[in-house]
Structure 1
Amino acid sequence: MKALLISLASGLLTLGGLHAQTAATTTTTVTTSSGTLHQYTPGSTFVVKETSGPVTYTYGPEVVYATSGGTVLTPEQVQARIRVGLPVRVEYANQGDTRVIRRVLVEDDDDEVEIEVDD
């Protein structure tokens, strides 16, 4: 009886190993594009005016907003900084004909140039 149980357990482990070996892998290519934010409604509309014209993006399940230096923005910072006319870089993955946003990059505050005006 013990030998039968050991044989069954061994067979199940072998089948499990074969199933794991045949599992498919998928590769997602992330592309970066840049332009000026043309239309923006949080969570719904994200259109970037690129050199080829306006391009519409779809929000992915988890969109990360960050500075060009890599600092991830909090929801409050996103609300304060993301606006129409802002230069952005968009990292996205194609799903069919749809561009799905993964990450939006904006300039660091340190990148902004202050202009002094003499009175």
Structure 2
Amino acid sequence: MQACVSFSWAHVAPEASPLQKILKVAALFATGPEGARKLVESRCERGAQIARDLGFSESTALAIRCLDEHWNGQGQPDRPKGEEIPLLARILGIAQTIEVFDQLGGVRKVHEIVSE
């Protein structure tokens, strides 16, 4: 739980005052699983729209939208599974996962996870 709060504190409203950050983080936790689902969906939609607005291809926008999809169909926001997930989204998802594990445990942790 402490890691979740620390992550939220670091990434929610980075420019806000401490009081504004406390209110935003508290609101985020108060919404529970449904709020988390809506947050991921909003992030995926906004990211894809930003890519379109910047002139990136629709395949790039779709890959960004699908970054939180999972091979088993349990991801978000649209729940495709397997090869229904765009290839670019799968590649970006792997890169994102490696980055997270690198942050958490360094290169050794990345090798450990990839070896599994």
TM-score, normalised with respect to structure 1? 0.22
Higher strand share: 1
TM-score by length of 2: 0.22
